[in-house]
Structure 1
Amino acid sequence: MARPDIVELPLAGAFHYRPHPHHDHRGSFSRLTCDETLRDAGMNTTWVQTNLSRTKARGTVRGMHYQKPPFDEIKLLTCLSGCVYDVLVDLRPDSPTFGQWTGIELDGAAADTLYIPSGLAHGFQTLSDDVTLHYSHSAAFSPDHQAGLSYRDPQVAIRWPLPITALSDRDAELPNLKILEEAL
């Protein structure tokens, strides 16, 4: 089986990981993770929690979420069905890309995967109905350490590809980067 394509994204430590499925008359088989492959690329290989996210409607935004130290986490996110526009914002104060964002389309048909280092806020907008995402986390969820950044912060200026059709009350109230900078 061919090794996946691993492409570094503009924010240091973030990667687009695309498996190469093996196809035959029955369908396909893809290796989503492999310790050796991740380790060779300098990525984390220890996952302590996995989660599944399902989103019903196209245009929904979830995010921009992260966990504060000491529960900051690395995420490995795989799109299993549907399509999303996935967005990362660099919240690492010493990073040359602090406050910058990058976006990438992830397609469930390709099992597109995103490696997200700690210190980045993460969110997505569904580009199709019925999206399923699988997350692996390097740290357990801690309600006292959950945090987020406003999806509409004018300083960050994320360009969402579709009109927003659904958003949680919590995500609608997340603070702008200017307020977060004081706490980082």
Structure 2
Amino acid sequence: MIFTETKLKGAYILDIKRLEDERGFFGRAYCQKEFEEHGLNTNLVQANVSFNHKKGTLRGMHMQLAPHAETKLVRCTRGAIYDVIVDLRPESETYTQWIGVELTADNYRMLYVPEGFAHGYLTLEDNSDVMYQVTAFYAAGAERGHRWNDPAFNIAWPLEPQIISEKDQQHPLLADIPTKASV
């Protein structure tokens, strides 16, 4: 596997190292040993799939608070998405900074999202599937969301979202949250 650390410490773009021949290719999509060598969380306890009918569907920005904070390993298995993470670790040098990565079924790229980051994505094609593995079980009481268009983040989405759930539209702005510790 090829691990590329992003400008947001602890967040990685992961590419499959392909062993190609006339049949196609073989590559490793997860290796506990390689993750440990990079200091990454290997305690994957749940796998989730999200299907999206239409291009322009936005989901996010989601996270869970401690003690249910989760690390995510995200991959698009059909179609294409623009995957975005925002660093919401109050002590981080990159607090409120974001990155976006195009994940497609064709590029096999993954995004490693550490605890303390909000995560969301925008579909770039109809009928896009997203699979993500997480290191904590879902806990409804720990679920938090942040507005996808919050000026505190100033995310440059590649196209205008067409479909956003009512719940995601109602997430608060960072400025409306009493303290950084309550993100």
Report the TM-score range of the alignment, normalised by the length of the smaller protein.
over 0.9
Which of 62-71 and 100-109 deviates more? 100-109
Partner residue, 1:79: 76
Between Structure 1 and Structure 2, how many residues are aligned?
181
Give me the whole-angstrom Cα distance separating, in 1, the residues matched to 2:90 and 2:178.
8
Partner of 2:150: 153
Q: CA offset at residue 180 of structure 1?
A: 3.0
Using the alignment, how far apart are the partners of 1:111 and 1:137 within structure 2? 18
Matches within 5 A, 1:171-182: 171-180=168-177, 182=179
Instruction: Map 1:111-150; keep pairs closer than 5 Å.
Output: 111-150=108-147
Alpha-carbon distance in 1 for matches of 2:20, 2:79: 20
- TM-score, normalised relative to structure 2: 0.94
TM-aligned CA distance change 1:5 to 1:98, over 3 Å: same
Give TM-score scaled by structure 1 length.
0.93
Q: Per-residue displacement from partner, 1:66-108 (whole Å, max 9, x unpaired)?
A: 0011100111111212111111111111111111111111121
Alpha carbon RMSD of aligned pairs, Å? 1.3
Contact residue 99 and residue 177 of structure 1 kept, 8 A: no
Picking from 11, 20, 35, the partner of 2:32 is 35
For residues 6 and 115 of structure 1, the distance between their equivalents in structure 2, rounded to whole angstroms, comes to 9
SS of 1:123's equivalent in the other structure is strand
2:64 equivalent to 1:67: yes
Between stretches 174-183 and 104-113, larger displacement belongs to: 174-183
Give the 3 Å change call, closer, same or farther, for CA 62–10 of structure 1 in structure 2. same
* Runs of at least 5 residues in structure 2 that lack an aligned partner in the other structure: none
